Amino acid sequence: DMCLIAVACKPRYIRINTLKVDAEVVMQELGKTNIMVSRDDIIPEVLSLASGIDLHDHPLVCNGSIFLQGKASSMVAVALNPIPGWKVLDACAAPGNKTAHLAALMKGQGKIIACELNEDRLKTLEETIRRSGASSILSFIFLSIFYSKCNFTFPLYVDVMHGDFLDINTTAPLFKEVHAILLDPSCSGSGISAERLDHLLPSYEKGEDADACKSDRVKKLAAFQTKALLHALSFPAVERVVYSTCSVYQTENEDVIKSVLPFAKSLNFELVSPFPQWPHRGLPVFDGAEHLLRTNPKEDTEGFFIALFVRKSEKINRGN
Ligand code: SAM
């Protein structure tokens, strides 16, 4: 069976798409073919696999019941903690793993705008959203009936937008009421193991000038990341902004946050700790960096960075 070929620890985690199925069903299904999984201690919709098994062609992946998404990557949408019914913007969305996760966390209620610049990656984004069931007509009908028993709000749908996030006019009707933004911009990918990324690196980065090219590239990325974060914070109604990277470099992480802090504070935002129980925090390069979250590429399989900005009025309402 193609699905059961053991590959060295790839992937170690899966995320259950709670829009389609719940954890027990997935655990039972996988158990039938002797794939042992256990529930993650912080994110209930994440399962860790007992051994490295390639699930790429597994029917549960193909039908969108599970996503091959790491634990660290799955922490990002949870950190944003969007309220069902909200309007949420995924600023740099393709291939759409976090868009699909947001849709599940919003329990099918509200609206997500998924913005992506790269046309080729847009197709993957659309395919991910389709597979997740977030925007299909059938899920509209099902969710409308299901949620009409509770507190009915409009069923969720995802608008895919092809364009540059930096060009979005924050006061345009579609955007002036955005409540939350997930900003997961292009980054160096230095937190993802080299062997998984090697085929993506341009050849000049493998040669003698690797370090010089790398630092130049990282600086350019950080300039874009900073611009994008400033833009996200400037949406008039936004209450929560999550910034994440799969980089381990301070330049793309703590330095970006530090440089936007005066602007953020002027708009009443403060840094809040996502997953306060998580021991590994930001590098202590400024007061407040203890709110930032890092994952370790060795211990946690991927090196991720997460920062959460919350507007003070919102913090009082939500209590976190
Ligand atoms: N959040 C995605 C996920 O979890 O599947 C991964 C996002 S990936 C790190 C960054 C994406 O941002 C890339 O697909 C890239 O093409 C896109 N991007 C880069 N610059 C952009 C811009 N100015 N506006 C919109 N999207 C952009």
Split at pLDDT 50, 70, 90, the class of 313 is confident
Every domain of the chain and the residues it spans? 2-68, 74-318
Catalytic residues: 246
For every residue of 120-188, DSSP letters joined together read: HHHHHHHHHHHHHTSS-HHHHHHHHHHHHTSS--PBPEEEEEES-GGG--TTSTTTTT--EEEE-----
| Atom nearest to 186 CA in ligand 1 | 10
In this structure, which amino acid lies at residue 286? F
CA distances from 250 to 92, 189, 220, 292, 306 (A): 21, 13, 14, 12, 12
Q: pTM of the predicted model, to two decimals?
A: 0.88
- Quote the ligand 1 centre to 85 CA distance (angstroms): 24
Q: How far is the CA of 226 from the centre of ligand 1 (A)?
A: 14
- Could you tell me which CATH number the domain at 2-68 has? 3.30.70.1170
Q: Is the pLDDT of residue 142 over 70?
A: no
pLDDT tens digits for range 216-241? 999 999 999 999 999 999 999 999 99
pLDDT at 205: 47
Condensed to tens digits (0 to 9), the pLDDT of residues 255-295 reads 999 999 999 999 999 999 999 999 999 999 999 999 999 99
| Domain 74-318 indexed as CATH 3.40.50.2020 | no
Which of 286, 183, 294, 189 lies closest to 247 in space, CA to CA? Answer: 189
User: Candidates 181, 186, 192, 224: which one to mutate for ligand 1, based on the most atoms within 8 Å of Cβ?
Assistant: 186
Q: Residues comprising the binding site for S-adenosyl-L-methionine?
A: 92-98, 116, 164, 184
Decide if 234 contacts 269 (C-beta within 8 A). no
Higher pLDDT, 239 or 36: 239
pLDDT confidence tier of residue 154, bands split at 50, 70 and 90: low
pLDDT for 146: 56
Place of tokens 């955005």: 178
